[in-house]
Amino acid sequence: MKKKGTEENLLAQNRQARHDYFIKETYEAGIALTGTEIKSVRARRITLRDGYVQIINGSAFLENVHIAEYKEGNRWNHDPLRSRRLLLHKKEIRKLAEAKAQQGMTIVPLKVYLKHGFAKVLIGVAQGKKDYDKRESIKKRDQDRELRRKYRI
């Protein structure tokens, strides 16, 4: 029996986050989803682009992540932009709250994937990039690409 790779289980990715932020630390968290939500997530109908994590009363919540309504969900369908609770240990939530309290820090979702049949989200403690940092990142990436192209045989 062959194990599935992580690429097959990747459901959504927030590429814009790595462009807009320096990712300092990452955490893996479970997501509390309803039945129609998990069906939409498995169908890859999820958008992480504008999402962020908020800490409220010792609990972490995933905000502003769009999970499309399930087509066959009828009256039991969910609200696409509702807050979803993240399943983390208290110690991890405490660390996230301390990190978010620092100036210029935020918590963003990076990836959503399946692990042992459960939906997981990779969240990152991030610091915002300035415009000159973004230009520097683009310049470095282009230089690396040119070097790889030049020395390819």
The residue that leads in pLDDT, 78 or 149, is: 149
**pLDDT value at position 110?**
93
Question: How many angstroms separate the CA atoms of 153 and 147, rounded?
Answer: 12
Query: What is the percentage of the chain residues whose pLDDT exceeds 70?
Result: 94
**pLDDT value at position 1?**
45
Phi then psi dihedrals of residue 106, to 5 deg: -145, 170
Q: Which of 65, 121, 66 is nearest to 96 (CA)?
A: 121
Q: Which CATH number applies to 8-150: 2.40.280.10, 2.40.10.340, 3.50.50.60, 3.40.50.300?
A: 2.40.280.10
Cβ atoms < 10 Å from Cβ of 72: 8
Q: Which amino acid is at 46?
A: I
Domain boundaries, the chain: 8-150
Output the pTM of the full model.
Answer: 0.79
Q: How confident is the model at residue 8 (pLDDT cuts 50, 70, 90)?
A: low
- Give residue 102's Cα distance to chain centre: 20
Question: How many angstroms separate the CA atoms of 140 and 62, rounded?
Answer: 32
Residue 91 has pLDDT above 90, yes or no: yes
**pLDDT value at position 4?**
53
pLDDT digits (tens, 9 = 90+) for 13-52: 988 888 888 889 999 999 998 888 888 888 898 988 889 9
Residue 107 has pLDDT above 60, yes or no: yes
